[in-house]
């Protein structure tokens, strides 16, 4: 509570949904002040590397592909950087999933924040992967609200197109597959679907088990018992987690087929983007990992 | 167009969603008149076997488990019956999926109408199953609006619980699994999810292929070319099919993993219930299979 | 049923939501065939006045302001035209609200199809206006799904902006006000609101009554008893009317304040656009007014 | 920040939506600890007057009509009580709308928390009422998500009934009318509508002005300039305010009719219930009014 040190943060790309969510979360953060807000539009200051370089930590919320140069220059200058884009995730910077790489993040100055789908998928699969229980490839069915498609009106976010149903897209080749495979060591088929909602994400993974007698509930409860943001629940549902950094997970064993079904729910803009970025920054700055991230989901 | 013969139909269970949908569809049917409407509530006449027995065809829209006695008596009396419940689906009456059992349905007097999820799943898998391409078990991810849970308010249909997200339920052991396995000859893991919408259903099936070089698009287009209600499309989405008896299917091959992803969309109350029941009745009565079922989906 | 004569229709602007809805309805119309489909995009033939002029009736579904020239030329050539835009509604062509101007429409060759909000508002107010019961101005609160904003993605239809709430816009000065005042003879304040849905429209009108003892229910039931598409109900709700040409109306008297509350619900793309256009064309062609428009609302 | 004193709070009725929202907000409150949680169901301790009486403040979240006895006994014993029900709102306890009765709330030990619709309606009308600008009666059109109908599944919250549209109910005689009239001194016609969403409320009030030249924007900005929770905006929309205690207001003048349109948006479970209750408790306990209530709305 009585935090003395206050750090300054810079946000490059403050006008998009991830940038706005960072501002919302930092406004309630007791030890990181959003000192520099920059964007190409929306009335913010323009992107200015010097101002960013003066911050204790910089969050890059730029379109995919637009972070590389700025990120490398800030990194070279020794600035702590969390990149919310995909440029540095695979074979790049420290992969900022604290539940997997907590100590590396603590020691890192450059962190690649995972994709929203990847966060859910990796946390869903990691206990099985670590225990050698996966007879791959794995099938992952992703479902997400359309806020992930960004602030600009597009076919993906046009209400008459997505309302009243569910829409598969990118059935193979989604950008997050490489991250998931890198972190789980298994190959995956991943097919995302647009939900008729704004926020919230669920992955349901279907895994053939190498040992059909494993006690999945015990395995997952043991693995995540000490994780502050991951909870094993009866039925993960993202509508319970709006605005929260929590992940809800459940794993079921289908004795008829020897498959595991693992569901993981989260808020795509919080644990899937801005919240996880702050979780990483907290670790990089030596702060308590959960600082500013304790809000419960807004439900109903 | 110039249909001379008009048949009479009876509906037992006219007050529920399937019964209401039957009434909506029969009101526009040129050759079947809804002559007898019965239900336990809603101001309809009470269930009366004699009146039903006088109809050319009877639709049973009763709760699961409540059709058996009435169905068997009507069958014994020689009345043509389509049961929309699950009592006669497995090792029971002729399984009323015309795309698979058209000739049997034409010859039958007692038909078990398939479950909504089963209809989509079987049509998604049948081309692969018939071609011997399935290295089972198969994982099927189901997604449906909440109208399938019926007319009575319940936790499944309580808007604050389902709005703004997606909810897995019955991760193993759903009632439709037995039908799917009976018709496809493969074992399946099937996990349904509630969508924050009323009508519409999508299944996404994940299949390991025995032959990873198969041309899935060609296979599906050939299989369904002459089917009046099944169309291969780029991206099946149930919001395009509201009120229609159509099924939209797509199959994609993931070359990285050797898996097929097959998506099938339909309206759970039409092709998943009342529309398919009429399709079966049309066949049983010697009518054109698509009579009264030609409406396009209501979209946007 | 046994319609011998078949008329041909042309649609200019077939690719927008009104044009698509016209195609959906004409596909089931027994006496009007959609012979000519033209649009500036979507793979249709380009707008061609000659081809349109050869049709028995032409529907103009062009953006507001774009119908004037083409409409006037077709009218000059003697072609029957229904314009779904706003160019000819006020002090222009015959105002195509059959419940008010049935005989004029029957005799007309050029008809201006009313706005969606105007249709609901005028039908809500007409019985009071005709009876001299309105102590104006009237306050009209409009609520509509976003399909009215068209097929192109925009801020109005961006799901994250409209989901989970309701949004007032154009609080004064909406385009439909002039039509409403022209037809009801009273001044109105009209404020529309975007609903988080695609289709469906409700207006709730608040009227100070000149006679606070009037029996509103009797007045409305008498007025609309013989209207095929207007029904007095207990609680109008547009979700019951999807895809239907029906209008549901209710009028309540608030004895505490001497005000009438009148609610009118409809499908903005059917009775608010394409369905009413066909209703007008049926009259102009000497057909039964309701031909092709008998479908019940798709509910649930 | 450095709050030394910590008060204890009791919640009677912790299992309902208002009770759950109080728990969510108190979990982040720096000076009020939720010490006693009681309910008739949900695994909470049963209602126990003695335990409640030991708290610095008690929140009653019981069904309408169920607070009276318990409330009176707690009041007689000198306990500070905020009743979230309707039992004490009219001619009863101090009416807990701080923007109107701040000093009375500060001095009170028993406060009746306003209804959700009443909060929005009164804040919408008060500037006009105080300035004598209302030529009554006023028409108020209310729109709310279904969470206001509570946690138990009912027809009002059954998704297939409310999805895809908007539903008027209680067109005259809603419970909140008496509060609105008591606080504004004008008579009102108030008609609420159910939105197809969970959380969020908007009222749109239509007022004949006694002076059609008044500068409404200036009037509202002056009135609410120093109010921490009320902001004049361009277009109030409750989806921007989820989880926040804020009220967004806009007033427009319709020069054609001499009417004012005033819209006010809020979160029905926060400023419309639990948040406002905490705002009142803060005042009653001598704390800063906004303590624990500074969260911005969760958007998108």
Classify the C-alpha dihedral A58-A59-A61-A64 as positive or negative. Answer: positive
Task: Check if the beta carbon of residue C123 is closer than 8 Å to that of residue C230.
Answer: yes
B296 to chain C, any CB pair closer than 8 A? The answer is yes
> Is pLDDT above 50 for C285?
yes
pLDDT in tens, A199-257: 999 999 999 999 999 999 999 999 999 999 999 999 999 999 999 999 999 999 999 99
Helix (H, G, I), strand (E, B) or coil at A130: helix
The confidence score (pLDDT) of residue C114 equals 98
Q: Do B160 and D196 touch (CB under 8 A)?
A: no
The confidence score (pLDDT) of residue A64 equals 86
C277 to chain B, any CB pair closer than 8 A? The answer is no
Q: What is the DSSP annotation of C66-135?
A: SSHHHHHHHHHTT--EEE-SSTTTTTTSEE--HHHHHHHHHH-SEEEPPPHHHHHHHHHHHHHHHTT-EE
> Is pLDDT above 90 for D158?
yes
> Is pLDDT above 60 for A2?
no
Distance CA A190, CA A172 (A): 6
Distance between C157 CA and the closest CA of chain A, angstroms: 5
Taking CA atoms, C256 is separated from C206, C250, D118, D136, in Å, by: 14, 18, 18, 12
A42, A144, A158: best mutation site toward chain C, by most C Cβ within 10 Å?
A: A158
Residues of C in contact with B198 (CB under 8 A): 300
Distance CA C197, CA B159 (A): 15
User: Which residues fall within 8 angstroms of residue D34, CB to CB, at 6 or more apart?
Assistant: D9, D11, D22, D23, D26, D27
Nearest CA in chain B to A178: B256
Instruction: With CA atoms as reference, report the closest residue to C203 among C272, C113, C140.
Output: C140
Q: Do D198 and B17 touch (CB under 8 A)?
A: no
Classify the C-alpha dihedral C104-C105-C106-C107 as positive or negative. Answer: positive
> Is pLDDT above 60 for C151?
yes
Residues of C in contact with B20 (CB under 8 A): 299
Residues of A in contact with C145 (CB under 8 A): 160
The confidence score (pLDDT) of residue B4 equals 55
What is the strand order of the sheet A110-112 is part of? A32-38, A7-12, A57-60, A81-83, A110-112, A94-95
Q: Is the peptide bond before A20 cis (omega within 30 degrees of 0)?
A: no
Q: What are phi and psi of C229, to 5 degrees?
A: -110, 0
Residues of B in contact with C27 (CB under 8 A): 296
The set of catalytic residues of B is 116
pLDDT in tens, C10-68: 999 999 999 999 999 999 999 999 999 999 988 999 999 999 999 999 999 999 889 99
Instruction: With CA atoms as reference, report the closest residue to A266 among A200, A186, A199, A185.
Output: A200
Give the number of other Cβ atoms within 10 Å of residue B296's Cβ. 17
Average confidence (pLDDT) over D89-110: 97
Which residues are registered as beta bridge partners of C12?
C38, C60
D189 to chain B, any CB pair closer than 8 A? The answer is no
Residues of C in contact with A159 (CB under 8 A): 146, 157-159, 162-163, 196-198
User: Which residues fall within 8 angstroms of residue B90, CB to CB, at 6 or more apart?
Assistant: B178, B179, B182
A116 is catalytic: yes
Q: Do B298 and C147 touch (CB under 8 A)?
A: no
> Is pLDDT above 90 for C225?
yes
Distance CA B165, CA A191 (A): 18
Average confidence (pLDDT) over A70-79: 96
The confidence score (pLDDT) of residue A4 equals 55
pLDDT in tens, A30-59: 999 999 999 998 899 999 999 999 999 999
Distance CA A149, CA B268 (A): 28
Residues of A in contact with D244 (CB under 8 A): none
Q: Do C147 and B300 touch (CB under 8 A)?
A: yes
Give the number of other Cβ atoms within 10 Å of residue B45's Cβ. 11
Distance CA D154, CA D147 (A): 11
C186, C244, C257, C269: best mutation site toward chain D, by most D Cβ within 10 Å?
A: C257
Q: Do D300 and A17 touch (CB under 8 A)?
A: yes
In our burial notation (b when 16+ CB lie closer than 10 A, e otherwise), range A195-204 reads bbbbbbbbbb
Distance CA C257, CA B179 (A): 61
pLDDT in tens, B237-289: 999 999 999 999 999 999 999 999 999 999 999 999 999 999 999 999 999 99
Residues of C in contact with D220 (CB under 8 A): none
> Is pLDDT above 80 for A92?
yes
Task: Check if the beta carbon of residue C180 is closer than 8 Å to that of residue C140.
Answer: yes
Q: Is the peptide bond before A146 cis (omega within 30 degrees of 0)?
A: no
> Is pLDDT above 80 for C122?
yes
B163 to chain D, any CB pair closer than 8 A? The answer is yes
> Is pLDDT above 70 for D4?
no
pLDDT in tens, B172-188: 999 999 999 999 999 99
Give the number of other Cβ atoms within 10 Å of residue C291's Cβ. 17
The confidence score (pLDDT) of residue D65 equals 86
For β-strands B247-254 and B230-232, DSSP reports them as: parallel
Q: Which of residues 4-33 of C touch A (CB under 8 A)?
A: 17
Residues of D in contact with B162 (CB under 8 A): 159
Nearest CA in chain A to C150: A160
Distance CA C257, CA C234 (A): 21
* Higher-scoring residue by pLDDT: D2, D193: D193
Distance CA A165, CA C173 (A): 35
Asked which of A220-224, D2-6, D14-18, D228-232 is least confident by mean pLDDT, the reply is D2-6
Average confidence (pLDDT) over C125-137: 98
* Higher-scoring residue by pLDDT: D65, C277: C277
D141, D169, D200, D252: best mutation site toward chain C, by most C Cβ within 10 Å?
A: D141
The confidence score (pLDDT) of residue B103 equals 98
- CA torsion C95-C100-C103-C104 (nearest 10°) is -20
Q: Do B159 and D196 touch (CB under 8 A)?
A: yes
> Is pLDDT above 70 for C3?
no
Q: Do D198 and A300 touch (CB under 8 A)?
A: yes
Distance CA D150, CA D107 (A): 31
Q: Is the peptide bond before A218 cis (omega within 30 degrees of 0)?
A: no
For β-strands C201-209 and C167-168, DSSP reports them as: unpaired
Degrees (nearest 5) of the Cα angle B223, B225, B230?
85
Percent of chain D at pLDDT exceeding 70 = 98
B256 to chain D, any CB pair closer than 8 A? The answer is no
The confidence score (pLDDT) of residue C1 equals 43
Taking CA atoms, B268 is separated from B247, C108, D65, D68, in Å, by: 10, 44, 42, 48
Q: Could you give the ipTM of this predicted complex?
A: 0.97
The confidence score (pLDDT) of residue B2 equals 46
Nearest CA in chain A to D18: A300
Q: Which helix (H) or strand (E) holds D123?
A: helix D116-130
Q: Which of residues 71-100 of C touch A (CB under 8 A)?
A: none
Helix (H, G, I), strand (E, B) or coil at B161: helix
D193 to chain B, any CB pair closer than 8 A? The answer is no
> Is pLDDT above 60 for A142?
yes
The confidence score (pLDDT) of residue D64 equals 86
Distance CA A98, CA A291 (A): 14
pLDDT band (50, 70, 90) for residue D9: very high
Distance between D208 CA and the closest CA of chain A, angstroms: 36
pTM listed for this prediction:
0.97
Helix (H, G, I), strand (E, B) or coil at B270: helix
Q: Do B159 and D154 touch (CB under 8 A)?
A: no
Helix (H, G, I), strand (E, B) or coil at A221: helix
The confidence score (pLDDT) of residue C4 equals 55
C55, C61, C110, C116: the catalytic one is: C116
> Is pLDDT above 80 for D133?
yes
Nearest CA in chain D to C268: D165
- CA torsion C94-C99-C102-C104 (nearest 10°) is -30
Distance CA B60, CA B71 (A): 8
Average confidence (pLDDT) over C252-276: 98
Distance between A37 CA and the closest CA of chain C, angstroms: 23
In our burial notation (b when 16+ CB lie closer than 10 A, e otherwise), range D205-225 reads bbbbbeeeebebeebbeebbe
> Is pLDDT above 50 for C75?
yes
B268 to chain D, any CB pair closer than 8 A? The answer is no
Structure letter (DSSP) for residue D113: P
Q: What are phi and psi of D13, to 5 degrees?
A: 105, 45
CA C99 to chain centre: 11
| Mean pLDDT for chain C overall | 96
* Domains delineated in chain C: 7-114+271-284 (3.40.50.720), 116-268 (3.30.360.10)
Q: Do B261 and A171 touch (CB under 8 A)?
A: yes
User: Which residues fall within 8 angstroms of residue C117, CB to CB, at 6 or more apart?
Assistant: C142, C144, C174, C176, C180, C190, C192, C201, C203, C272
């Amino acid at each position: 509570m009585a935090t003395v040190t206050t750090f300054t943060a810079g946000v490059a790309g403050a006008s998009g949904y991830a940038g706005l969510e960072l501002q919302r979360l930092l406004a309630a953060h007791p030890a990181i002040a959003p000192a520099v807000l920059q964007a190409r539009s929306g009335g913010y200051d323009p992107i200015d590397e010097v101002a960013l370089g003066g911050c204790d930590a910089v969050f890059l919320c730029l379109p995919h592909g637009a972070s590389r140069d700025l990120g490398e220059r800030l990194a070279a200058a020794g600035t702590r950087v969390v990149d919310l884009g995909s440029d540095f995730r695979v074979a790049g910077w420290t992969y900022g999933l604290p539940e997997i790489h907590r100590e590396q993040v603590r020691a890192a100055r450059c962190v690649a924040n995972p994709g929203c789908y990847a966060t859910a998928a990796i946390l869903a699969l990691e206990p099985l992967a670590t225990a050698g229980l996966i007879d791959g490839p794995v099938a992952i069915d992703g479902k997400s609200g359309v806020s992930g498609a960004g602030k600009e009106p597009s076919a993906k976010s046009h209400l008459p197109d997505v309302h009243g149903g569910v829409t598969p897209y990118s059935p193979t080749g989604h950008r997050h597959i490489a991250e998931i495979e890198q972190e789980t060591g298994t190959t995956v088929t991943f097919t995302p679907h647009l939900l008729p909602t704004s926020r919230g994400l669920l992955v349901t993974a279907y895994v053939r088990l190498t040992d059909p007698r494993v006690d999945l509930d015990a395995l997952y409860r043991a693995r995540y018992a000490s994780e502050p943001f991951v909870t094993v629940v009866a039925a993960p549902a993202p509508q319970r987690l709006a605005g929260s950094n929590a992940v809800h997970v459940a794993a079921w064993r289908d004795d008829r087929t020897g498959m595991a079904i693992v569901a993981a729910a989260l808020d795509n803009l919080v644990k899937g983007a801005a919240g996880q970025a702050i979780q990483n920054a907290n670790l990089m700055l030596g702060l308590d990992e959960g600082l500013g991230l304790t809000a419960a989901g807004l439900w109903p």
